[in-house]
Chain A
Amino acid sequence: EVQLVESGGGLVQPGGSLRLSCAASGFSFSTYSMNWVRQAPGKGLEWVSYISSNINTIYYADSVKGRFTISRDNAKNSLYLQMNSLRDEDTAVYYCARDRPPRSSTPASFGYWGQGTLVTVSS
């Protein structure tokens, strides 16, 4: 059974940093590209970042470019999101999501999602 479990969310002050993790199991992690998607309270979904299965390709939404860094450790079956210079508008539930097809070179449809971790940016 495919499982994605996010962790690392919490309350942080504006300008602060936080690192999210996503532990994957039940599939060959190194074969699939991964994404972070967020959802502000009561709002819609926003794609945040993508990393290819071989770590060669990374993309960011304009709203987080230069502040967030996506990474992965295929040996540990883990995905990460380092978030720096956090702003009030970064407050959201952050989901990790697996591309549906293996070895995609760009974000695809997202076949599996974690349960999400809440990040609250507030003073």
Chain B
Amino acid sequence: DIQMTQSPSTLSASVGDRVTITCRASQSISSWLAWYQQKPGRAPKLLIYKASSLESGVPSRFSGSGSGTEFTLTISSLQPDDFATYYCQQYNSLGTFGQGTKVEIK
């Protein structure tokens, strides 16, 4: 089974900060990686698919990069609506999520 490891687990940041979250796969997953945003009590929302493709309607301050085993989600300028938990998901072999990264207000 493919394991996904996100870092950090928690991130404290301020509005306007550039934020980067890392996701590592236990084996190569090519570019079969997605990123989701989840707010408390809500369903996850797809942000990025195929490692770097922006889902329709998602603000351009979100971007994804990477391939193989190492991936990043970057928020170029953190907005108040972006404080949430972010998950990566590999879909090279079934589906496995990372443990999540909570982005909180500094």
Q: What residues of chain A have their CB less than 8 Å away from a CB belonging to chain B?
A: 35, 37, 44-47, 50, 59, 61-62, 95, 100, 106-111, 113-116
* In the complex, chain B residues 22-45 whose Cβ is within 8 Å of any chain A Cβ: 34, 36, 38, 43-45
Complex partner residue of B49 from A47, A95, A109, A116, CB under 8 angstroms = A109
Residue contact B43 to A44, C-beta cutoff 8 Å: no
Complex CA–CA separation, A45 to B46 (angstroms)? 13
Residue contact A110 to B46, C-beta cutoff 8 Å: yes
Complex CA–CA separation, A44 to B85 (angstroms)? 9
* Chain B residue at minimum C-beta to C-beta distance from A96: B43
Interface residues on B, range: 20 to 34
Residue contact B91 to A109, C-beta cutoff 8 Å: yes
Complex CA–CA separation, A110 to B49 (angstroms)? 9
B contact patch SS: loop
Complex CA–CA separation, A37 to B38 (angstroms)? 14
* Chain A residue at minimum C-beta to C-beta distance from B53: A109
Contacts of A107 in B (CB 8 A): 91, 94-95
Distance (whole angstroms) from the CB of A85 to the closest CB of chain B: 22
Residue contact A100 to B46, C-beta cutoff 8 Å: yes
Complex CA–CA separation, A47 to B55 (angstroms)? 20
Complex CA–CA separation, A47 to B21 (angstroms)? 21
Complex CA–CA separation, A8 to B98 (angstroms)? 28
Residue contact A62 to B1, C-beta cutoff 8 Å: yes
Distance (whole angstroms) from the CB of A6 to the closest CB of chain B: 10
